[in-house]
Structure 1
């Protein structure tokens, strides 16, 4: 099973770009989005996050069920669902204002008890390193996943509005990155670490970490890059016929990359590091189509595997 651990929330998205436009509730959260995208691409997927008993919690459960994602913490919590007020710039790129709640209402015992024994991949990141007490527990989950033989992937998703202690956050995030076999970052994430370094310098440092074999960098409209010790790949974005917005594009791309790596038999620490230029380009292309199809929707609505195959001309 693939398991994604981390936040779920409700994106409160303006109906139009006009001032005072009413907001529409869309299920979201980077780990939540990625879990749904993974399942819709045909992977046996579980989501590790508490869900509230409130109406927004009911809303979150519907897409999980429709996609066939296993909700690993079955007991719902009374804390209110985390929300994110979404706004868009002129390029329809999203920014967020968060009010946190149910996704933090977990215990060490509950998370570890819900983690499956049969575990091929564990993905984390997002909000998990932000608060010290949360990070300590989530790191124990990562260690448990490693003990069960899982590949560890980390999607950074730096949320500057939530980071009140930059040095402390970086220290906690480093704890996650040092355990990861695969790391995904955006160019904006890298700039938060150190804007004076080039992408290549950042990548050199990430690949030098104890376990990292593959790094993926998203560049917004510039597409994506991938790096291993043996190669470098690049893919342009895939543009849908009708554009919606970019909500969940990076999460969908990550799900596509993980799916392709698994299907090609290389989602293993020993194999990831041997990917060459051609293999990395194919991996990113698959992810770009998944992300592009999601961008044809309003809010995060990842594509099915059939929709992706129709674009790529696969049987």
Structure 2
């Protein structure tokens, strides 16, 4: 089945320091993991749609501009009165980002509005990391996922644990588990793994995920150590692609995810049966493609994923 790649979940404004120190001036940058992934998918040549309310405020305008520039379909066209969700960003010595959140417009949706905005033809539906955080939101997003699956979509999720937003850990874990049960493709970082399954090996955790009803592919990012992938048949790995000049890691995981989904679609593997049968060489090639997408992004400040032409230049070297 062909159709749109739809990413559902949060968009927000990252308030990013321009220098080190708690009192540094901050610049407002468009962000949010699903927002970033939708843009990366479109820039790689996919028909991508973004399912998230956009505020009427000035920060909403800041979000709309890169979506439009990349060619992402904005599926909820009517702007909302709630203020744009904000993330106050700080960086550690490795320029890895951490966040404090003030939520607003990303939650200004209704079940009816989201379901009406979901396209009839959906090739892939990606679940955003904020979706399990609050029970009332998760109930609505669960229905959206079910509707996409009912239209034949492959379901993916980027877990993206945001510990500072989780006030009810037991409830969050239960709701996340429900989304994981729906997903064919599960991506997580080593930080997500350490929070979810402290003391366990990544291999054991991946094996558990692959035993869930629908899961056929697990991807784990390891920061500077690259990435791992597990299908029901094999394991693969790939190093990072280090750009000539380093910017920061904002949006790296989102770019990698978009690269993986693009590679799978282009190799006719974005179907449950094919996902589960991927061999180690295919998994390596998939991760390598994703690593180049992520690495080019890391050569810039903020999330600015590459075009397909930029990726092909690096892969051809």
TM-score by length of 2: 0.98
- For 1:191 and 1:142, locate their aligned partners in 2 and report how far apart those are by CA, in whole Å: 26
Cα shift readout 1:270-312 (whole Å, capped 9, x = no counterpart): 1000000000000000000000000011100000001000000
Q: 2-side partners of 1:132 and 1:174: how far apart?
A: 13
- Residue number among 261, 285, 288 corresponding to 2:288 in the alignment: 285
Deviation by residue 1:72-102 (Cα, 9 ceiling, x = unmatched): 0000000000000110111110000000000
Q: Residue 125 of structure 1: CA displacement?
A: 2.7
Structure 2: which 5+ residue stretches go unaligned? none
Give a deviation string over 1:22-57, Cα, whole Å, max 9, x none.
Answer: 100100000000000000000000000000000000
Could you say which residue in structure 2 is the equivalent of 1:61?
64
Tell me, yes or no, if structure 1 residue 36 matches structure 2 residue 20: no
Alignment of 1:300-315 (within 5 A): 300-313=303-316
> What is the rounded CA distance, in whole Å, between the counterparts of 1:4 and 1:293 in structure 2?
22
Aligned to 2:214: 211
Could you tell me which residue of structure 1 aligns to residue 183 of structure 2? 180
Distance 2:165 2:113 in 1: 25
Runs of 4+ residues over 2 Å off in structure 1: none
1:93 to 92, 96, 104: 96
Q: How many Å separate the matches in 2 of 1:231 and 1:215?
A: 11
Q: How far off is 1:134 after superposition? A: 0.1
**Cross-structure match for 1:260:** 263
Q: CA RMSD of the aligned region, Å?
A: 0.7
Distance 2:10 2:144 in 1: 14
Partner of 2:10: 7
- Give the 3-state SS of the residue equivalent to 1:178 in structure 2: helix
Alignment of 1:171 with 2:174, yes or no, is yes
Residue of structure 1 in register with 2:122 after alignment = 119
Q: 1:298 and 2:301 equivalent? A: yes
SS of residue in 1 equivalent to 2:83: coil
Distance 2:97 2:240 in 1: 17
Is 1:141 equivalent to 2:144 in the alignment?
yes
Residue 10 of structure 2 contacts residue 128 of structure 2 at CA under 8 Å; is this kept in 1? no
CA-CA distance at 1:131 after TM superposition: 0.2
**How far 1:18 sits from its partner (Å)?**
3.8
Q: Contact conserved, 2:54 with 2:80, CA < 8 A, in 1?
A: yes
CA distance in 2, matches of 1:278, 1:206: 21
Q: What's the offset of the Cα at 1:16?
A: 1.1
Q: Distance in 2 between matches of 1:46 and 1:244?
A: 27
TM-score normalised by length of structure 1: 0.99
**SS of the residue aligned with 2:46?**
coil
For 1:21 and 1:166, the matched residues in 2 are separated by: 32
Listed as ranges, the gaps of 5+ residues in structure 1 are none
Structure 1 residue 102 and structure 2 residue 100: aligned? Answer: no
- How far did 1:19 drift? 4.2
